[in-house]
Structure 1
Amino acid sequence: MELINHTTTNLITFVLAIYVGYHVVWNVTPALHTPLMAVTNAISAIVMVGAMLAAGLTVSSAGKAFGALAVALAAVNVFGGFLVTRRMLEMFRKKDIRKPSANAAQQANGAVR
């Protein structure tokens, strides 16, 4: 006989993961948000692979439906995370300052028709 059943162990692990995740994310300095986001995307991709395996190996229709839902939600998380990371990285790029061409300056003054 088991002292603690598997459901209780899984629930405890889930609650501890939420607690640790909350403290890790909120205590990160702003300079490290982009690397943290990239690592989060990698973890979500691993979750997506695990969800695909779980959906493929399950024989019940409810298990396949939940597996497909998990794959869809993980995919949204991965792609959304990559979009956010890309946007954050664009904020750190230097602005390209170009001199206006002579033709554009003449058009602005109305000299060229």
Structure 2
Amino acid sequence: MTQLIEFISDNIQMIYIVVLMIFVGVEIIGHVPAVLHTPLMSGANAIHGVVIIGAILVLLGVNPENYLGQALGFVAVLLGTLNVVGGFVVTDRMLEMFKKKK
């Protein structure tokens, strides 16, 4: 428990920035018109391939005996992969709407 309190006190500014980013992101996304949600989401999800690379690099740097770090890294890679695949699926469905029907 003391390690958690020490971690929070050492990184309090970073925690404030993350919380601020969450509020700003929710506010920005909330004001996007419904027509633009699909193109923005598919493009943003495709860009998240960088997140997968970052998660893999962080996972490679984790101490092999740190099971929590390995589990969180694995979850980050898994969620990043799902996000990218979902982005391509949404883009494919969006492009299907513009094809001529036979």
Query: Which of 45, 55, 75 lines up with 1:51 in the alignment?
Result: 55
Q: Which deviations, in whole Å up to 9, do the C-alpha atoms of 1:74-106 show, x marking residues without a partner?
A: 111111122122212322x14425xxxxxxxxx
Q: CA RMSD in A?
A: 2.2
Inter-partner Cα distance in structure 1 for 2:39 and 2:10: 34
Question: Where does residue 106 of structure 1 map in the other structure?
Answer: none
Gap regions ≥5 residues in structure 1: 98-113
Identity of aligned residues (%): 43
Residue of structure 1 aligned with 2:13, choices 2, 9, 34: 9
Question: Structure 1: which 4+ aligned runs deviate by more than 6 Å?
Answer: none
**When the two structures are aligned, how many residues end up with a matched partner?**
93
Q: Which position in structure 2 is the counterpart of 1:90?
A: 96
Aligned equivalent of 1:70: 76
Q: Which has the higher contact order (CA 8 A, sep 6+)?
A: 2
Structure 2: gaps (5+ residues): 1-7
C-alpha deviation, 1:5, in angstroms:
4.4
Q: TM-score, normalised by structure 2?
A: 0.73
Work out which of the two has the higher radius of gyration on C-alpha atoms and give 1 or 2: 1
